[in-house]
Amino acid sequence: MQRRTRLALATVMAGLLATAVGAVAAGNYAEVGYTDGMEAPPTAGEEREIRFTLLQHGVTPVDHGQVTISATIPGSAPVTAEATSLGGGTWAVTMTFPTAGDWQLRVLHSEFETPPAMAVSVAEAAVAWPASLLPITAIGLAAVALVAAAAIMARRVSRGPVPSTEPSTR
């Protein structure tokens, strides 16, 4: 019984392997190489241009077909964007990752199989002050400084003159 199970499992695995090898050998596989836009982690909410190459079997540039990038993260809808061919097997796409986290990024081609998704860590967006708040903040800080200076002056006046520490010459 165990021998039959092992034999059946080995047959299924061999069939899957032969299918994958057959697809690659048939010429419908393209390697993906990221060339620009992935040096530093993307930031959530910011547009990022990503450039990559598509090479059939890692050799022949692929400039035709429909190419998209799909980004997924658990608990969110996938983000997809269509890439544009720049020639010579180079493609470009502009993406915005809506949230920070560990995303799975995959290039998909309409005719060629492509490698599995790669992990991409997307950084949290930095909290930025809107430019419209800067003048208001400056005015508020100036008002606080004036109130503090007025309080110090009022306190000095209420205490009277400061006695001198030098000996009197009378």
Query: What string of DSSP letters covers 65-127?
Result: S-EEEEEE-TTS--EEEE-EEEETTEEEEEEE--S-EEEEEEEEESSSB-PPPEEEEEBPPPP
Would you state the pLDDT for residue 144?
Answer: 76
- Structural tokens at position 74: 């658990």
> Could you tell me which CATH number the domain at 28-122 has?
2.60.40.10
The per-residue pLDDT string of the chain (170 residues; one tens digit each, 9 = 90 and over) reads 565 555 444 454 555 454 444 444 457 999 999 999 999 999 999 999 999 999 999 999 999 999 999 999 988 889 999 999 999 999 999 999 999 999 999 999 999 999 999 999 999 988 766 666 667 767 777 777 777 777 777 777 777 665 666 666 65
Would you state the pLDDT for residue 135?
Answer: 72
- Structural tokens at position 164: 């001198």
67 CB contacts (<8 Å, ≥6 apart)? Answer: 54, 82, 83, 85, 91, 93, 107, 108, 109, 110
Query: How do the domains of the chain map onto residue ranges?
Result: 28-122, 129-162
